[in-house]
Chains A and B, each alone.
Chain A
Amino acid sequence: MIDAAGIKRLLPHRHPMLLIDRVVELVPGDRLVALKAITCNEPWYRHLGEDAAPEEFGYPRTLLVESWGQAAGLLAVCGAEASGGPTSQVMLAGSMSGVEFHRPVQPGDVLEHRVRLFRALTDTVIFEGETLVGGEVALTFSRMVMAFRPGDQLRPSAPADQVAAPAVP
């Protein structure tokens, strides 16, 4: 079990983009289960008009993807540290494939992200999994490919072609 304070030590993300509240199951290098509670008080809902229809309260799908991605990032970091892997390196989201949205997520729902290691290589790791809401599958994630790159590559001053995508999606 990792609480919010522990998560902040593992992930660089901060408000409003820290989208994991708790890790409830962890087998380093193998699988992880993490939670995120959805509330209508999140900053994204601030701009919704007073007459917004109920379905407009559906949590932004790309943030569901981001939240699951951060759960995968946690497994990657925990996996790397556990096996003495590269911790001075930065994790970059390389690609995502086959992400299906099965049902809308509403304020009051609790996301249960399940992440499993698909394949690990020296500088690349691939995950798969799904997100449950109330035991029902809300999102399925066929593959997320994350690359470990030396940390210094990410300074904005670094030449653009070298600076790869953002660390952890």
Chain B
Amino acid sequence: MTANTTNSPVRAVPEVVRRASADAGQSGLSSEVRFRIAPEEPVFAGHYPDFPIFPGVCVVECAHRAALATAPGDGAIALRALESARFIGPVFPGDVLTVRADWKAADGGWTYTATAATERGTSAKVRLGFRTEVTP
């Protein structure tokens, strides 16, 4: 489990269960990534004192990290837009958050449509827009 040396607000490390296969772009090529949301996640201290609840944007962050971990193709991709996020159910310390998502080719990049869920059910539906980075 590589250490998380990024400046992401979520410290949990993405555990890739299934990667989108190389020829992603056809529908139904879904990937699956899991995150253990430990009570020690730094955001819980302030969100909220004595009532820890995982912020909605951190569920979006997990979808974002899951996307980076399972991106199809080999080019680097960068987040262009949070096209939509629907917050449905809470995530509490100790939950395991599973992100299942489909990749679809879009002009200039990819659209990543994900559902994040805990054992209690869906937590959020997230759609992210990525552009493929043109490496100079």
Contact = CB atoms under 8 A, between A and B. Distances in A.
Interface of A: 12-18, 43-45, 47-49, 52, 56-57, 59-63, 65-66, 69, 92-101, 154, 156, 160-161, 163-167, 169
Interface stretch (B2-10, B15-23, B30-38, B96-104): B2-10
Most chain A CB within a 10 A radius of its CB, from B7, B53, B55, B64: B7
B80 A160 contact: no
Interface string B54-80: 111110110010000000000000011
Nearest to B49: A14
B6 to A, nearest CB: 7
A69 B87 contact: no
**How many of chain B's residues touch chain A, expressed as a range?**
35 or more
B89 A17 contact: no
A92 B53 CA distance: 12
11 contacts: A12-B49, A45-B7, A48-B7, A65-B82, A93-B56, A95-B86, A95-B87, A98-B83, A156-B51, A165-B56, A169-B57
A43 B44 CA distance: 13
B81 A17 contact: no
A160 B87 contact: no
A154 B47 CA distance: 13
B84 A13 contact: no
Contact of A48 (B5, B9, B42, B81): B5
Given A56-B6, A166-B53, A13 B46 contact: yes
